[in-house]
Amino acid sequence: MRLDLLLIRRHPALSRRRAREVIEKGQVSVAGQCVREAGLEVAQDAVVDFDPNRPALPRVRCALPILHEDAHVLVVDKPAGLLSVPSAPGLQEDTALRRVLDYAQRLRPRGGFAERVHRLDRDTSGALAFALSAEARAGLIRCFRDHRIERVYLAIVAGAPRRDSGSVDVPLREEWRDGRKGVARPDEPARPALSHWRVLERLPRAALLEVRIETGRQHQVRVHLAHEQLPILGDPVYGAAAGPGRPLARRPLLHAHRLAFAHPITGERVAVESPLPEDMRGVLAALRRGPSPRGRVR
């Protein structure tokens, strides 16, 4: 069972939060070894010692906000502008993977493990999952491969949707052209891609959409919405670099809002939501104020 739950069983006066705190402070040992991972799975008859008088060690913190954490899976809230993984093998870049691996290695000095199982574009913000064990990575990769992951995005798009909802079931070509993906022609190698969108809010010459994807192709949401003539605001690649009236966005306004899946080890449902980031909230506020008398967004 989890170490924090076993500790509570042995020390009923501890709350779940307090048990986690004392473990992270280094005041708990398992079989004589200090353990700072509350979600570590231990035998129910394990020798667990709790010494509240032991000087607290500096807390191990992740350099990214955590949406979910256990011994096998970590879901973080990636900011826009941060790479998910290095842009080429061997490059020493600041990435979400590098930050998570650093956290895992400080949390488990003798065996810290972190690997990516999917990715977000550099300028897409939101929920990003990592495996903290090889077993979890294999299970999560199967989930993504078999499309058993719930992925919901929020996007601010240019234009007025003609309908309140729709689906885009068009394949994307496999090859890149000038840094772009695109809808495949009948004679091109392609991969199937399916997205469902619905309008959450209509705005002057724009809209806030919820987009659920059943496949996870690179640039899928951006290409599919552009195909629907609803390009994402701030997207210089697929056609809406400027907002209505004046440029409002410094990046494609796309956010990975919700991620849900069956835990690869326990089978329990994991569901997280990442709040809309500040830049997207600011654009929505500006759009809601409407155009100025000169036709520009205030």
Q: Residue 126 carries which side chain, given as an amino acid letter?
A: G
Cα-Cα-Cα-Cα dihedral of 76, 127, 178, 236, to 10°? -110
The question of whether 121 is a catalytic residue gets the answer yes
DSSP β-ladder status, 254-262 and 165-169: unpaired
> Among residues 141, 65, 137, which one has the least CA distance to residue 103?
65
Dist CA 206 CA 222 (whole Å): 15
Q: Which residues contact 234 (CB under 8 A, 6 or more apart)?
A: 240, 241, 243, 247, 248, 249, 250, 251, 252, 253
Neighbours of 251 (CB within 10 A): 19
Do the Cβ atoms of 229 and 159 come closer than 8 Å? Answer: yes
The H-or-E segment that residue 145 falls in is helix 134-145
For the CA atoms of the chain, what is the radius of gyration? Answer: 22
Neighbours of 51 (CB within 10 A): 11
Token couple for 97: 């993977």
Name the one residue in this structure whose structure tokens are 């290695």. Answer: 105
Distance of CA 162 to the CA centre of its chain: 30
| Catalytic residue (one of 77, 121, 123, 279) | 121
Dist CA 81 CA 276 (whole Å): 15
Token couple for 81: 């502008």
Annotated catalytic sites, by residue?
121
